[in-house]
């Protein structure tokens, strides 16, 4: 399936007044930051349904799919998951939620699903160690892709994903939906772009959630409803000690990049978006397992990472124990300027001026409980994130229609993801790293450059770059 080359979208407004949720003033303010919808994009929303497939029917894979169904007349054609129980549950809900009430086809192997080449859009909601292979295969099959963050497990995978998107001229949106969070869009416009902060001198990012699984479950037989071999894929095959895809996998470096790869990627991406930042000049990090030493988890429970930019540093800190310094902002970004400070999270934001020349400003998270009452009965939904994901999906569909770049384009996702991976590599090597995105090497560091690519388990092949 051929399409016109993808080009950046430069329109200044977002003309989608026919949608019912745009009756909200808060949403209208947020939408002004998005590219305009042309006729092609309106056809996507109101015309012939796009054919959609989902790879990874776990918590957020399903959540993304339900948000997409809420904002566009899509047809869910196929769903793939290695867990038969999880797959059956997703298919049942999809058949109820989509307008046609049709039951999607089911697969346990993404290659079989993509072999049909009948999908316009593929959502990738699998664990991090699978993102690159799933997304690239979908692009090669002719689909545009919505991929969860972080985009990859290693830097070379991210490079390969970017190359594939450009080669096959696919639209790829990454699930860093802070760019589509209504109150944060408002903050960017009214505080940052309005110049209320003045010269920026420092940025802090943090996460103090107690989210690091640290148990000692015994090894047990693999249940017959789970294809554990396929779930593991290119990663090392750990002894089976319980359902890994119920968040247990995130506690192991074999499958993900720890709290930095999971949570810092959101806040670093937000800082970069708000302040117009690209690649860090250098990245350093230190940390380890300082407190929670008893369980099987091998990701850090304490870590600091410094991302160096011209004129200031952006510093990340996480602890999966203890208390947050600011209880109102346990997972947040703090931007310090000469004229004031901005605190921002997924739930709220506050601008605190240095003097009386500006007034303090408070921003609250936007919810849509009344417009989408089905949200209230959805299992494990993040009600605060649902409006952002819906806007993110609309922006994705607009880019698909115009063959343009979405707000969280694959290149931006790669920069944020790779920077977080490099922070972990800096902690591992014990030295600052300077990644050169043009040469795709760690400058002056052959050893660290080799670490940009992880080994794959046979028979899986690492995607090629270039």
Torsion sign over Cα 377, 382, 385, 390: negative
Q: What residues contact 241, with CB distance under 8 A and at least 6 apart?
A: 217, 218, 219, 220, 296
What pLDDT was estimated at residue 357? 82
Separation between Cα atoms, residue 61 and residue 386, nearest integer Å? 13
Q: What is the DSSP letter of 135?
A: H
How many other C-beta atoms can be found within 10 angstroms of the C-beta atom of residue 252?
19
Q: Which fold does the domain 35-178+380-410 belong to in CATH?
A: Rossmann fold (3.40.50)
Q: What is the DSSP letter of 188?
A: I
Torsion sign over Cα 401, 381, 154, 288: positive
Q: What is the DSSP letter of 320?
A: S
Torsion sign over Cα 99, 100, 103, 108: negative
Q: What is the DSSP letter of 417?
A: H
What pLDDT was estimated at residue 48? 79
Query: SS3 for 172?
Result: strand
* CA-angle at 263, arms to 262 and 269, nearest 5°: 105
* CA-angle at 127, arms to 125 and 128, nearest 5°: 105
- Please check whether residue 164 is in contact with residue 463, taking contact to mean a CB–CB distance below 8 angstroms: yes
Total count of residues recorded for the chain: 466
- Domain 182-213+243-368+415-450: give its CATH superfamily: Dihydrodipicolinate Reductase; domain 2 (3.30.360.10)
Separation between Cα atoms, residue 155 and residue 104, nearest integer Å? 34
What pLDDT was estimated at residue 447? 97
Strand blocks (E) in 378-458: 435-436, 441-442
What pLDDT was estimated at residue 79? 98
Question: What is the pTM (predicted TM-score) of this model?
Answer: 0.91
Report the largest interatomic distance among the alpha carbons of the chain, rounded to a whole angstrom: 66
- Please check whether residue 306 is in contact with residue 283, taking contact to mean a CB–CB distance below 8 angstroms: yes
Residue 269's alpha-carbon distances to 81, 91, 149, 177, 190, in angstroms, are 29, 33, 11, 10, 19
What pLDDT was estimated at residue 356? 83
What pLDDT was estimated at residue 334? 98
Q: What is the DSSP letter of 333?
A: E
Q: What residues contact 77, with CB distance under 8 A and at least 6 apart?
A: 51, 52, 53, 104, 105, 118, 119
How many other C-beta atoms can be found within 10 angstroms of the C-beta atom of residue 26?
17
What pLDDT was estimated at residue 1? 38
Query: Which run of H or of E encompasses 420?
Result: helix 410-429
Strand blocks (E) in 125-275: 144-147, 172-174, 200-207
Separation between Cα atoms, residue 189 and residue 466, nearest integer Å? 37
Sketch the domain layout of the chain as residue ranges: 35-178+380-410, 182-213+243-368+415-450
**pLDDT mean by block of 10 residues, the chain; 466 residues:** 42 33 44 45 62 95 95 96 97 93 97 97 98 98 98 98 98 97 98 98 98 96 98 98 92 98 98 98 98 97 98 98 97 98 98 92 94 89 93 96 96 98 98 98 98 97 89
Residue in 381, 406, 346 with CA at minimum distance from that of residue 60 = 381
Residue in 6, 40, 38, 35 with CA at minimum distance from that of residue 170 = 6
């Amino acid at each position: 399936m051929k399409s016109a080359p993808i080009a950046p979208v430069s329109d200044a407004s977002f003309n989608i007044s026919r949608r019912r949720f745009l009756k909200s003033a808060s949403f209208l303010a947020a939408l002004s930051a998005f590219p305009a919808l042309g006729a092609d994009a309106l056809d996507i929303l109101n015309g012939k349904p796009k054919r959609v497939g989902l790879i990874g029917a776990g918590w957020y894979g399903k959540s993304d799919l339900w948000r997409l169904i809420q904002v566009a007349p899509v047809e869910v054609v196929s769903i793939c998951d290695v867990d038969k129980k999880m797959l059956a549950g997703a298919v049942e809900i999809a058949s109820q939620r989509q307008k046609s009430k049709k039951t999607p086809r089911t697969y346990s192997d993404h290659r079989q699903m993509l072999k049909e080449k009948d999908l316009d859009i593929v959502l990738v909601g699998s664990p991090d160690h699978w993102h690159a292979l799933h997304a690239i295969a979908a692009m090669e099959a002719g689909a545009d892709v919505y991929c969860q963050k972080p985009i990859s497990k290693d830097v070379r995978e991210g490079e390969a994903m970017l190359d594939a998107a450009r080669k096959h001229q696919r639209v790829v949106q990454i699930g860093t939906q802070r760019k589509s969070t209504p109150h944060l869009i408002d903050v960017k416009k009214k505080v940052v772009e309005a110049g209320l902060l003045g010269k920026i001198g420092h940025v802090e990012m943090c996460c103090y959630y107690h989210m690091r699984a640290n148990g000692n479950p015994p090894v047990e037989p693999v249940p017959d409803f789970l294809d554990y071999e396929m779930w593991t894929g290119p990663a090392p095959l750990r002894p089976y000690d319980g359902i890994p895809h119920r968040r247990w996998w995130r506690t192991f470096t074999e499958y993900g990049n720890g709290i930095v790869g999971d949570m810092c990627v959101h806040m670093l991406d937000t800082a970069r978006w708000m302040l117009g930042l690209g690649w860090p000049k250098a990245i350093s990090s230190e940390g380890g397992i300082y407190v929670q030493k008893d369980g099987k988890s091998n990701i850090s429970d304490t870590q600091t990472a410094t991302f160096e930019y011209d004129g200031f540093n952006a510093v990340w800190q996480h602890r999966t124990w203890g208390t947050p310094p600011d209880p109102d902002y346990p997972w947040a970004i703090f931007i310090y300027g000469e004229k004031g400070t901005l605190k921002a999270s997924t739930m709220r934001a506050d601008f605190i001026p240095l003097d009386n020349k500006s007034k303090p400003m408070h921003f609250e998270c936007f919810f849509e409980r009344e417009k989408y009452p089905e949200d209230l009965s959805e299992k494990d939904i993040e009600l605060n994130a649902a409006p952002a994901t819906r806007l993110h999906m609309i922006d994705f569909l607009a880019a698909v229609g115009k063959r343009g770049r979405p707000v969280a384009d694959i290149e931006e996702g790669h920069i944020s993801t790779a920077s977080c991976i490099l922070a972990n590599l800096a902690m591992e090597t014990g030295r600052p790293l300077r990644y050169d995105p043009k040469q795709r090497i760690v400058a002056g560091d052959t050893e660290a450059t080799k670490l940009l690519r992880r080994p794959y388990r046979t028979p899986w092949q690492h995607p090629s770059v270039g």
